[in-house]
Amino acid sequence: MDFKALFSTFGMIFLAELGDKTQLATLAFAAESKSRLAVFFGSAGALVLTSLLAVVFGSAVSKMVPENYIKIGTGALFIVLGLWMLFFHWHK
């Protein structure tokens, strides 16, 4: 197992998920629910499934597209999504 990839992935995902909409939604569900354990398993399962889909899709894409293009594309997508969120949030 590549522990460098494991720990860098864990660190980046952990920091990225802190305070995001998913965490806030989970917090709201836990506040409303009597079964916090069900909220935990539902939230954790959803994160695991979306991560699995990302790994499978990323693995397939990496066989067809050079790594450099993937990095540029994902960076551009983050910028576009950030600008989109700022624009629509600003105009509400």
Burial class (CB in 10 A: 0-12, 13-18, 19+), 40: middle
Number of structural domains, the chain?
A: 1
91 falls within a domain: no
Residue-level pLDDT at 60: 94
Candidates 17, 19, 41; CA nearest to 30 is 41
Residue-level pLDDT at 92: 58
92 falls within a domain: no
pTM, two decimal places: 0.67
Q: Which residues of the chain have pLDDT under 50?
A: none
44 falls within a domain: yes
Cβ neighbours around 39 below 10 Å, total: 19
Cβ neighbours around 70 below 10 Å, total: 14
User: For residue 53, what are the domain limits?
Assistant: 3-65
Residue-level pLDDT at 77: 93
Token pair 């894409």 in the structure block, residue = 61
